Chains A and B, each alone.
Chain A
């Protein structure tokens, strides 16, 4: 095994007494003040996350047709100031990775999951698509929260939601992974500490991957490796809204067929009226249909356990029985997002 990778902020995290965990081969901060506190910083005020472990690749507009063939969304026809969430699909229609594209007038940046950076690079290589890997020369800082936009607007101009911008040393988009408004900012590793100091001076708190996970789950957002895998399609994961590619693309036949037949796996949201958390891998049954929990945790805002469950087919009933360490615990499927 090679040694764990670190971001340029590793020493800084240690100086903040962060609890460090290994995540996708990276030594990353799990928490500073505790996951629940950090969760509330973001929901009530603002927090920043070092997400520099995520892959950042610069792509060429001259190859946008070829890139568009590899994803289920229409990247080609949206304007050059937009950020787009999409999924690289396989020939079988399953997810290779879920990613964000940042479109600029002169530039196209792809941000992928840390666990999939090598897989995506290989995939691009196979399809003869050129890229420049910016992952080690830059950092990526997510500033998220109820007050995040107010605060960052004092540092840089804020684009519309799901739009991109460049200003001085900052390359950024109004995107995020917490359910709150905010920016994700890419900058040269030499400029990161100064940026973070400015955020901290304005009251933005450091947050780790622990709260990033509870925030994204509570915001009903999928995590690759859990809700999405190379065995699950965007349709099965409930991400039909990402399928906007009008042209031919890899896996289109399977995805179109799934949309029409509705005969596929179904990812659902659930809640429990119990003091147990149905964690990843928990088996459950609804209306005779077997399911497996992909992610589960407490919703710090709602105060009860929530999660995602993947069923073999669409269950007709919304009552579910979870087998939590031998005890059958009842839960309900939800048809709306966890937070309204």
Chain B
């Protein structure tokens, strides 16, 4: 498994062979406040880099998580349907959102250190 990378739109992703796991960063969940609803995509749905894949409703505002690369959804974290707070409590762990098969590799995300200086 490769290192966790971050996007300027505050998603994180981890590439594992031909698959990628996506969620939102700790900074993003902090800015959103309490997450109350998550709308996940369907397994099999295809997304291009930059497409909105997940919609997150929080008490403060609404946000979308975008695809880090062209991919097809293979699994969604259905626990988020009943426990959206997992994203607040453990954004880069149990709060993962989707797993997808990579259609076109794009590993141009920032390292954690780069992301940290990006948000500060």
Contact residues in A for B39 (Cβ distance below 8 Å):
275-276
CA separation between A34 and B36, bound complex, in Å? 12
Asked whether A279 lies within 8 Å of B62 as measured between CB atoms, the reply is yes
Asked whether A35 lies within 8 Å of B57 as measured between CB atoms, the reply is no
B54 to chain A, nearest CB (A): 12
List B residues 50-69 near A (Cβ within 8 Å). 55, 57, 59-62
Contact residues in A for B62 (Cβ distance below 8 Å):
276-277, 279, 325
- Of A35, A275, A276, which contacts B34 at CB under 8 A? A35
Asked whether B88 lies within 8 Å of A298 as measured between CB atoms, the reply is no
Q: Is B33 positioned at the interface, with any CB of A under 8 Å from its CB? A: yes
Asked whether B57 lies within 8 Å of A210 as measured between CB atoms, the reply is no
Q: In this complex, what residue of B is CB-closest to A275?
A: B37
Q: In this complex, what residue of B is CB-closest to A214?
A: B59
B94 to chain A, nearest CB (A): 17
CA separation between A277 and B60, bound complex, in Å? 11
- Of A35, A298, A300, which contacts B37 at CB under 8 A? A298
- Of B55, B57, B61, B85, which contacts A298 at CB under 8 A? B57
List B residues 27-48 near A (Cβ within 8 Å). 33-34, 36-39
B41 to chain A, nearest CB (A): 13
B92 to chain A, nearest CB (A): 18
Known interface pairs A298-B36, A298-B37; A35-B60 also in contact (CB < 8 Å): yes
B64 to chain A, nearest CB (A): 9
Asked whether A210 lies within 8 Å of B59 as measured between CB atoms, the reply is yes
CA separation between A24 and B21, bound complex, in Å? 41
Asked whether A275 lies within 8 Å of B57 as measured between CB atoms, the reply is yes
Q: Is A86 positioned at the interface, with any CB of B under 8 Å from its CB? A: no
Q: In this complex, what residue of B is CB-closest to A298?
A: B36
Query: How many A-B Cβ pairs are below 8 Å?
Result: 42
Asked whether B37 lies within 8 Å of A36 as measured between CB atoms, the reply is no
Known interface pairs A34-B88, A35-B33; A297-B59 also in contact (CB < 8 Å): yes
Contact residues in A for B60 (Cβ distance below 8 Å):
30, 35, 210
Q: Is A81 positioned at the interface, with any CB of B under 8 Å from its CB? A: no
Contact residues in A for B59 (Cβ distance below 8 Å):
35-36, 210, 214, 297-298
CA separation between A300 and B34, bound complex, in Å? 11
Q: In this complex, what residue of B is CB-closest to A31?
A: B33
Return the CB mask of A261-302 against B: 1 if under 8 Å, else 0.
000000000000001110100000000000000000110100
Contact residues in B for A276 (Cβ distance below 8 Å):
37, 39, 55, 57, 62
Q: In this complex, what residue of A is CB-closest to B85?
A: A36
Asked whether B57 lies within 8 Å of A277 as measured between CB atoms, the reply is yes
Contact residues in B for A31 (Cβ distance below 8 Å):
33
Contact residues in B for A275 (Cβ distance below 8 Å):
37-39, 57
B15 to chain A, nearest CB (A): 29
List A residues 16-42 near B (Cβ within 8 Å). 30-31, 34-36
Quick one: which of A31, A210, A277, A305 has the most chain B CB within 10 A?
A277
Asked whether B38 lies within 8 Å of A210 as measured between CB atoms, the reply is no
Contact residues in B for A36 (Cβ distance below 8 Å):
34, 36, 59, 85
CA separation between A131 and B93, bound complex, in Å? 57
CA separation between A179 and B14, bound complex, in Å? 45
B76 to chain A, nearest CB (A): 14
Return the CB mask of A33-65 against B: 1 if under 8 Å, else 0.
011100000000000000000000000000000
Which chain B residues have a beta carbon within 8 Å of chain A's beta carbons? 33-34, 36-39, 55, 57, 59-62, 85, 88
Which chain A residues have a beta carbon within 8 Å of chain B's beta carbons? 30-31, 34-36, 210, 214, 275-277, 279, 297-298, 300, 305, 325
Q: Please give 9 more A-B residue pairs, beta carbons under 8 A apart, in addition to A34-B33, A210-B59, A275-B38.
A: A34-B34, A34-B88, A36-B34, A210-B60, A276-B37, A276-B62, A277-B57, A277-B62, A279-B61
